[in-house]
Structure formats: structure tokens, C-alpha cells
A and B are shown apart, each in its own frame.
Chain A
């Protein structure tokens, strides 16, 4: 009797399974010029600059494509970060989605053949003319998935760069003016230290410390160094300038009290709130904070480019990619094109984001305008140097532990450079095979 029931249960389960298969195996599309839906995913929050601008882009798209339904879903960053490969390798994935730039993400998927080559569209629609060369670096990947050359696999909409945010009220209070060279910056920080104020909020437990080191190194670097470090053109000597200068200056800044020793264990969020609450006169960090600062800060504040640098940590933002399994490719191209239009780009700028192809004169708020002008300056002089943890997989943790040691004084600059040189060399060897 038991056997019979178990059998019935098994048959029932099998039956449900087959019906689901039948339900799923429905539509298989070609390049999708006749597609009637566009499944679109991104992970920007609704009130962020990109969220607002892309809502508008979706609206424009709907107006221009009557009869096409846009199925938009806001995803969790975590979900895309962890599963993008699995998602777009199935038939359940989106037709177009936002995805992280870089070798380990977009590069990896492109080398696995999961992304559509956008080179023809980029040429036809003139995307290449709208994006400066250093922005294009993260849009193009070679057959090994290394950025910088090869086909277009993604299109960025916004940029990001590391700058100095400063508290104007504190600057006025202590009679400090905005520095334009690294020397002036040092003097400004000396003034704060002499008044008992730690000038720079830092966060050793996350990305900010590595970015400050990189920013300092870049003050002595040229484009060739960036190509060597990021694109493996030539081997990088960690014991020579600019990296040596970066680590030594960083240690110097810690010793002189520009950076607090207890910052070693702080997270980026702590650094941000230290600035928002008005305790820290300055932070060196990226434009991703800008919108939040604008919403939450009550005092006078502004930003300036890291003084004296021609090169700045920064890159294009995340990319629009079209999965190889997309069922509505031509609609996806149309949508990407809309997001690069001046109207949408200006919306990014007017909401505290950094558009890649905006006319600064279209930006109304003076502070926003300055941000975008700064970015355009950097971008046009080919000054985006990407991020220090990009070159090899897993390098982020290496840098964090290295500079934690430097901030709390347990390691000398020399030891830190040794500690970060080896994983870099190993990683590069694995990627290039040399």
C-alpha cells in the first residue's frame, strides 16, 4: 500500500516537472528586430542620478517604440555581482542589463562568449565619438577578457573619479585655502594638525586607503605607468617610483598625523559619516559619494581635484551590456543609444551623477557643474587611471591588508610594497601567461 502511494507521489512530481518544462521552453528569438518586449535590469536605486535618468530613458524608449513592452526590474547589486554569468547563460536572463566594468566581470563574461559584440553598433551610432579614450578602455575587451583593446562589449553611461571633498566651513575657520599643488595640500594639512584637527578621514579596512596610495603614486606617474600597471604592457617595479613614492608618502602622512592611526580598522561608511557629520575637514574618495553628500550635508562643502595630479583614480561607471542570449538585441541597442543622448546625460548631471557625454553648460547647479567640469577635464586629458585593485583577481584584499599595516604602523613602506608586489606578479603571470 505504501509503495503505491509513493509511486503516485513520484508520478505527480514528475508531472509537475514536465509541465513546467513545457511552460518554460516557449519563445526562442533571433536578433529580435520584431521583439515585442525588452527585459531590462539595472541595480541603481530609484532616486540616484542614474536611476532618475534611466527612468526617463525608459520613458523615451516607450514613446519611440509604441507596442513594445519594457519589463524593467531593479536588481540587487549582490545578485548581479555573484550570478551574472549563471543568469545570462540561461534563457531567463534579461535582454539588456547594467553590469560591472573590469576584467574580472565584463571581461570574463565576454571571453566566455556570453556578451554580444557591440563594435558594429558603436561605429554605426557613433558611440566611440561620444566617449573619450580612457572611458573606452573599460568598454572594450580582447579575446582573453583584458580591457583596453578589442571589441566593444559594453557602453558606459556615467563616470567616476577620485577627488578631494572638503568642508568649507572648517577651511574658513582655520584659515586654509583650497590647495592647487601637493605642497600646498601638505601645508594645509599641517595647519589642521597644529590646531589639533586630523585633516583627513581615512578607512583602512576598505577601498579608500588603497585609493589614496594610488592617488599619491599617480602624482609621480605618467600614462605609460598606468598602461604597465593596469594593462600589463611592461613589468612594474614596486620598489621604484611611482609606487615607492606612493607608499612612502602615505607612511609620511600617517606619521605626521594627517591620517589617524585608528583609521586602520575603519570602513568606508565610517569615513563618509565622519565627513558628513562635519568632524573631518577632508576626505579623498570617489564621486559615488557626491549624491549622498548633497542630500545629507548641512554645512558648506565642495570638491577639488587631487592637487597637482594629471592622473586620477577613476574610470567609466558600470556598463550596459547585451547578453548573447538576448531576445531583443536591436531594441537593446536603441535603448543604449537613448541613454547617451544629451537630455538623459544632462539628467544624470543634474542629479549629482557624472555623465560621460554631457555638456557642462546644460547643468544648472553650480556645484554639480564644477563636478562635471572637473571630470571632463580629467577625461579629456586622458587622465583616468582606473583603480589600484583592478589588475589581478583578489588584489583588493591584498591592498587592504597591506595598507592597514601601514596605517597602524606595524609595517614599513618597504614591507608593504613587498607584500603587494608578489600577488600582483603572480596574478599578471596567470593572466598573460608570461
Chain B
């Protein structure tokens, strides 16, 4: 890919392909400028959030969202932290999103192994069904889910949310992994079979190691998606002690009034765990995205 961009004109002083990043001409700087601009545009909302998180409500109302705060106001942050009992919500969110990420990946892998490598009859239909289940709007599912959870006694428990999201996320995971696995090199599988490996051994010793980068990305996506979910946790978790961070954030919005600075402060605190998570795993993410490209 990168080689095609190299200007092959006679102006190049040396025959060496332009690997040297300082000699690639003007277009490189243009691209860099555009990317920087794009990054800045992306950062603007965060800048606003940061600006308003440290502004007092009165300051916000008189000066508007763009003004510079007249004092460094941290009461919003503290109010949010203590009023919603943030550490507890953080634990709930982590527990739910973490469990869903791990369970979802395991279920997806098992399903996909059966569909992609096991070559179950009618697998195309099954995969299609999974995709459909994934695309169904959550609003349509909410009443049946509520009823089912109530009848098995899981309403208002974190387990209910974990089970629901494990199913929802693994529907997508199954779809994705099944198509990945259907292109899995047959020769590898046959070699393993010749060595007398059972299906289980093939999964763990042959398929799993090869899929690890993809699974890691899936894990991270499941975690972040589940972390950000709002509607199902809102409906299923009614006690303050079981609620997740997005639901806690919603408690700052009143009937007719809103408290913009505190909402900003809350968003800021709520965003920190997600950013930390991303920073820790970004290497894995990048590796996973390019994993398939090198073949």
C-alpha cells in the first residue's frame, strides 16, 4: 500500500524508495495538517465539557457555555461523586461490562466454531438469524425481557443485565467470527486431525491461538458497548445499589430543569474509566485491527 504513494519521478535524488519520512514532499504536510485539524474538531466537545465542568451554575447561566469560568469550581464534581455514590456505580459498570465482555467472547467463539468450522447444516440461515437478533431495536425487546426477568426472579439484579448483554453481544460476535472462521485454512485443521486431536483440542490449540488478536478486539468492543448501554440497565436495574454509570448520569437531569455544569462534571468523571481502559488496551486494539491485513 505505502509503496504506491511514493513519487517515482526523476526528481528523487537517490534510487532508495522514499522510506525516509522527511523526504516525501508537500502532500505529506497537507495530510498532516488535515489530520490535526480533524483531531482538533473531534476534541472540541471534550474541551467544552472540561470548560463547563469547572464552572459554577450561576456562572454558566450568566456567561453561557463558551465563557471562561470566573472561579475554579469543583463543587459540581464533588456533588456528583458523593450524591450518586460513584465508586459503587463504577464497580457495577465494571462488573457488568467485564463479565459481558468475557462471557460474550467465549459464547461467540463456541458458536462460531460450530458454525464456521463445524459446518452445521443451514449455517447461513443461522448466522443470518444472529445478525437479525443483533439488529433488533432494544425497545422492542424491553417488555419481554422485563417479563422474563421478573418471572425467573432476576429483575433488579446485575445478573439479568449480564445475561441479556452476553446474548446480544455474542450475536454480533458469532456473526463476525463465523465468517472469519469459514475462511480458516483447512490444511491446519486437517493436520491437527491427522495428529489425533479432538475437536476440543483443535479449538484450544489451533483455532484459539490464531484468533487471539480478533478476540481481543471483540473483547474490548463488547466492554465499551456494554459500558455505554443505557436503556436496558435503566429498565432492569431499579435500585441505586445495582445501577451503572450511564444511569447515574441520567439522574442529574430533572423534570423541567437541567444543571449543565454538574452534568458536565458527571460526564467528565464518568468518561475517565473509559479513557483509562482505552489507553491500557489501545495497543491490542491497533494490533487486532491490522491483524488480518498482513496475510
The answer to whether A and B interact is yes
- Which residues does A use to contact B, with CB under 8 Å? 1-2, 6, 16-17, 20-21, 23-25, 43, 45-46, 73-79, 82-83, 86-87, 89-90, 92-93, 100, 207, 268-269, 272-273, 276-278, 286, 288-289, 292, 295-296, 298, 318
Task: Please state if A86 and B146 are interface contacts (CB–CB under 8 Å).
Answer: yes
A318 to B255: give the CA distance in the assembly, Å. Answer: 10
B256 to chain A, nearest CB (A): 5
Q: Which residue of A lies closest to B142 (CB)?
A: A86
Task: Please state if B159 and A20 are interface contacts (CB–CB under 8 Å).
Answer: yes
Task: Please state if B155 and A92 are interface contacts (CB–CB under 8 Å).
Answer: yes
Given the interface pairs A1-B200, A286-B256, the reply to whether A87 lies near B238 with Cβ below 8 Å is yes
* Number of A-B residue pairs having CB atoms within 8 Å of each other in the complex: 107
B42 in contact (CB, < 8 A): no
Task: Please state if A79 and B257 are interface contacts (CB–CB under 8 Å).
Answer: no
Q: Which of B56-64, B119-127, B173-181 contacts A (4 or more CB under 8 A)?
A: B56-64
Given the interface pairs A74-B251, A76-B253, A276-B62, the reply to whether A296 lies near B57 with Cβ below 8 Å is yes
Task: Please state if A78 and B253 are interface contacts (CB–CB under 8 Å).
Answer: yes
List 22 contacting pairs A-B, 8 Å CB cutoff, sorted by A: A1-B198, A2-B203, A6-B110, A17-B152, A20-B153, A23-B153, A24-B153, A43-B251, A46-B83, A74-B240, A76-B234, A77-B251, A78-B234, A78-B250, A79-B250, A87-B238, A89-B150, A273-B60, A273-B62, A273-B64, A276-B58, A277-B64
B111 to chain A, nearest CB (A): 12
Given the interface pairs A75-B251, A76-B251, the reply to whether A296 lies near B257 with Cβ below 8 Å is no
Task: Please state if A20 and B157 are interface contacts (CB–CB under 8 Å).
Answer: yes
- Report which residue of B155, B238, B254 has the largest number of chain A beta carbons within 10 angstroms of its beta carbon: B238
Task: Please state if B240 and A82 are interface contacts (CB–CB under 8 Å).
Answer: no
Given the interface pairs A74-B83, A276-B61, the reply to whether A2 lies near B200 with Cβ below 8 Å is yes
In chain B, positions 147-169 with a C-beta closer than 8 Å to chain A are 150, 152-157, 159
A183 to chain B, nearest CB (A): 31
- Would you list the 3 A-B pairs with minimal beta carbon distance, nearest first? A76-B251, A21-B153, A296-B58
A278 to B58: give the CA distance in the assembly, Å. Answer: 12
B199 to chain A, nearest CB (A): 6
B242 to chain A, nearest CB (A): 10
B79 to chain A, nearest CB (A): 8
| New A-B contacts (19) at CB < 8 Å, excluding given A76-B248, A90-B150, A277-B61 | A17-B152, A17-B153, A20-B153, A20-B159, A43-B255, A45-B254, A46-B83, A76-B250, A78-B251, A82-B234, A87-B238, A89-B150, A90-B155, A92-B155, A92-B156, A92-B238, A286-B256, A288-B256, A298-B62
A254 to B150: give the CA distance in the assembly, Å. Answer: 53
Given the interface pairs A79-B234, A83-B235, the reply to whether A295 lies near B58 with Cβ below 8 Å is yes
A67 to B32: give the CA distance in the assembly, Å. Answer: 69
Q: Which residue of B lies closest to A278 (CB)?
A: B62
A1 to B156: give the CA distance in the assembly, Å. Answer: 36
- Which residues does B use to contact A, with CB under 8 Å? 57-58, 60-64, 83, 110, 146, 150, 152-157, 159, 198-200, 203, 234-235, 238-240, 247-248, 250-260
A352 to B134: give the CA distance in the assembly, Å. Answer: 49
Task: Please state if A272 and B61 are interface contacts (CB–CB under 8 Å).
Answer: yes
Q: Which residue of A lies closest to B251 (CB)?
A: A76
A49 to chain B, nearest CB (A): 12
B19 to chain A, nearest CB (A): 49
A23 to B155: give the CA distance in the assembly, Å. Answer: 12
Complex contacts, B146 vs chain A, CB 8 Å:
86
A296 to B247: give the CA distance in the assembly, Å. Answer: 28
B217 to chain A, nearest CB (A): 24
A90 to B146: give the CA distance in the assembly, Å. Answer: 10
A269 to B253: give the CA distance in the assembly, Å. Answer: 12
A347 to B61: give the CA distance in the assembly, Å. Answer: 26
Complex contacts, A295 vs chain B, CB 8 Å:
57-58
A10 to chain B, nearest CB (A): 12
A259 to chain B, nearest CB (A): 20
Complex contacts, B63 vs chain A, CB 8 Å:
277
Task: Please state if A79 and B247 are interface contacts (CB–CB under 8 Å).
Answer: yes
Task: Please state if B253 and A77 are interface contacts (CB–CB under 8 Å).
Answer: yes
Q: Which residue of A lies closest to B255 (CB)?
A: A77
A125 to chain B, nearest CB (A): 27
Task: Please state if B58 and A25 are interface contacts (CB–CB under 8 Å).
Answer: no
Task: Please state if A83 and B62 are interface contacts (CB–CB under 8 Å).
Answer: no
A386 to chain B, nearest CB (A): 15
A334 to chain B, nearest CB (A): 24
Q: Which residue of A lies closest to B147 (CB)?
A: A86
Complex contacts, A45 vs chain B, CB 8 Å:
254, 259
A43 to B247: give the CA distance in the assembly, Å. Answer: 13
Task: Please state if B238 and A79 are interface contacts (CB–CB under 8 Å).
Answer: yes
- Report which residue of B57, B60, B251 has the largest number of chain A beta carbons within 10 angstroms of its beta carbon: B251
B75 to chain A, nearest CB (A): 11
B68 to chain A, nearest CB (A): 15
A20 to B154: give the CA distance in the assembly, Å. Answer: 7
B245 to chain A, nearest CB (A): 12
B170 to chain A, nearest CB (A): 14
Q: Which residue of B lies closest to A317 (CB)?
A: B255
A299 to chain B, nearest CB (A): 10
Task: Please state if A93 and B238 are interface contacts (CB–CB under 8 Å).
Answer: yes
Complex contacts, A23 vs chain B, CB 8 Å:
153
Q: Which residue of B lies closest to A45 (CB)?
A: B254
Task: Please state if A292 and B257 are interface contacts (CB–CB under 8 Å).
Answer: yes
Question: Which one, A2, A6, A79, contacts B251 given CB within 8 A?
Answer: A79
Q: Which residue of B lies closest to A279 (CB)?
A: B62
Q: Which residue of B lies closest to A268 (CB)?
A: B256
Given the interface pairs A21-B152, A90-B155, the reply to whether A277 lies near B251 with Cβ below 8 Å is no
Complex contacts, A296 vs chain B, CB 8 Å:
57-58, 61-62
A289 to B58: give the CA distance in the assembly, Å. Answer: 13
Complex contacts, A6 vs chain B, CB 8 Å:
110
- Report which residue of B150, B247, B257 has the largest number of chain A beta carbons within 10 angstroms of its beta carbon: B257
Complex contacts, A20 vs chain B, CB 8 Å:
153-154, 157, 159
Complex contacts, A79 vs chain B, CB 8 Å:
234, 238, 247, 250-251
Complex contacts, A1 vs chain B, CB 8 Å:
198, 200
Question: Which one, A24, A46, A73, A298, contacts B240 given CB within 8 A?
Answer: A73
A397 to B175: give the CA distance in the assembly, Å. Answer: 39
Task: Please state if A73 and B83 are interface contacts (CB–CB under 8 Å).
Answer: no
